[in-house]
Amino acid sequence: MMGGRPHALVTGASSGIGAAIVERLLRDGWRVTGISRRPAPFDHPAFDHLSLDLGDVDAIAPAVAGIAPTALVHAAGVLRGGQLGALNHDDGAAMWRLHVDVAERLADALAPRLPEGGRIVFIGSRTASGASGRGQYAATKAALVALARSWAAELAPRGITVNVVAPAATETPMLQDPTRVNVTPKLPPIGRFIRPEEVAASVAFLLSAEAGAITGQQLVICGGSSL
């Protein structure tokens, strides 16, 4: 993709999909800066940890001011559910802030510094098209698709791609989070949940030189759920 060792900035690096992405990229020879509140479980010479609470959105631009990566992967996320008539509006605002506002601020700060052929990948969700009891969450993930398509058009002349990887229910600590009120994960038709390393492999492909003509797209990893 670019000359020299590529450098990815990955949010949500301490666990789940974000940690799987960091592990895959390190194995593939990337240098990785991982953002998370908790320490990330990596002892690797090519890994740096940036301790940052992404909920403090005003702190994002100053925190990444000295970073000029070749790729941005926004994997941090949270899921809260609720039926109409009993929506928690604070939960809705928190999901919008983490999924969409953080994506906006990171891309706004880093896109001007991405090199020719740079990459941006957002972790979305299969439920972006809508799901009962998950309207607020689905709306934030649908917004990521709109951002990706819009920014892909802006950045295509520089050879920079912007895509979304959208898994169905994935085997992560978030799947068993007791605060996932009114959200019961369902097994996909393949009979198991999506594995974090499968999501990471898709992200790694989209970051590769071979994916240079793929931009503005949502890659859904559903295990047959969307059939």
List the chain pLDDT tens, one digit each, 227 residues: 445 799 999 999 999 999 999 999 999 999 999 999 998 889 999 999 999 999 999 999 999 999 999 999 999 999 999 999 999 999 999 999 999 999 999 999 999 999 999 999 999 999 999 999 999 999 999 999 999 999 999 999 999 999 999 999 998 776 666 554 556 678 889 999 999 999 999 999 999 999 999 999 999 999 998 76
State if pTM tops 0.75.
Answer: yes
How many Å apart are CA 203 and CA 13, to the nearest integer? 14
In 3D, which of 158, 137, 156 has the Cα closest to residue 215? Answer: 156
CATH 3.50.50.60 is the classification of domain 7-221: no
The residues with which 123 forms a beta bridge, in sequence order, are 165
How many Å apart are CA 47 and CA 18, to the nearest integer? 13
How many Å apart are CA 126 and CA 173, to the nearest integer? 18
In 3D, which of 41, 20, 217 has the Cα closest to residue 119? Answer: 217
What ranges do the domains of the chain cover?
7-221
Contact 63, 50 (CB under 8 A): yes
Set 30, 47, 122, 137: catalytic member: 137
Structure tokens that stand for 61 in this block: 């631009």
38 is catalytic: no
